[in-house]
Structure 1
Amino acid sequence: MKPITYKGYQAAVEYQDGTLFIRILHIDDLLLAECEDSRLVEATARALIDDYIQTCIDEGRDPERPFKGSLNIRMDPALHRRAAMAAADEDKSLNAWICEAIAEKVD
């Protein structure tokens, strides 16, 4: 089953022993729910996420967010320079060049 996306969160659904289990992905907090009816999976996932956000607000803490799409990295200045020069050689921004390099590495 395709992950359910809601409010920037992703939920995975797994079937085990006649029960559907919903788990929120990409955060350290453990968010799980059970569901008996496949027609209720999306509503259950949304309720789980809404409840998590409200619980965090009630506890005075920020809900953990999966990914922001921005990444602050630190590197040796010489490596930074070499990367910037390589990006310029390819007529790319350093950001685009780094994204491409990461995509190559994870593939």
Structure 2
Amino acid sequence: MDYKGYIAKVEFDDEAGIFHGEVLNLRDVITFQGTTVAKLRKAFHESVDDYLDFCGQRNELPEKPYSGRFVVRIDPSLHKTIATKAKLADKSLNAWLQEVLRRTVRRRRTPNN
């Protein structure tokens, strides 16, 4: 589920007969639940809106789900190889990696993603 840039993971508790979800990749915790998909979606939207309102009341910026930055540690020989490929393509390492990652994600995307 996606709402205002916040992405949630949803699970179903068969015993309780309820869906429950949590917004991913935040230090802050945003959870929600519902007995139907419609109620779950409504609870998700309300939980995100409540979080944003709460941050506003405290004059705090809400945590962004993704900053656009991440650190990856790789083998030095792989680093050399991709840096060389980026230079051969007349691109920065960052631009080259974004292109490769974007292509990979598009190829692996399924109708449910």
Same fold at TM > 0.5: yes
One-letter code aligned to 1:50: D
TM-score normalised to structure 1 length = 0.68
The answer to whether 1:12 aligns with 2:9 is yes
Q: Deviations over 1:29-86 (max 9, x none)?
A: 11112212222121111111000000111122111111133x287xxxxxxxx78962
Whole-angstrom distance in 2 between the partners of 1:98 and 1:20: 37
Distance 1:96 1:57, change over 3 A: same
| In structure 2, distance between residues paired with 1:72 and 1:33 | 28
Structure 2 gap segments, 5+ residues each: 72-79, 105-113
Asked if residue 89 in structure 1 is aligned to residue 88 in structure 2, the reply is yes
Contact in 2 for aligned 1:8/1:66 (Cα 8 Å): yes
Q: Percent identity?
A: 29
Structure 1 residue ranges, 4+ long, deviating more than 4 angstroms after superposition: 82-85
Q: How does 1:57-96 map to 2 (within 5 A)?
A: 57-69=56-68, 71=69, 86=84, 87-96=86-95
Partner of 2:32: helix, strand, or coil? strand
Report the TM-score when normalising by structure 2: 0.65
CA contact (8 A) 1:22 1:34 kept: yes
2:39 paired residue number: 40
Gaps of 5+ in 1: 74-81
Secondary structure of 2:50's counterpart equals helix
User: Pairwise CA RMSD of aligned residues?
Assistant: 2.7
Residue 22 of structure 2 corresponds to: 23
CA pair 85-8 structure 1, distance change in 2 beyond 3 A: closer
Q: Is the 8 A contact 1:83 1:94 kept in 2?
A: no
Q: Is the 8 Å Cα contact of residues 32 and 40 (structure 2) preserved in structure 1?
A: no
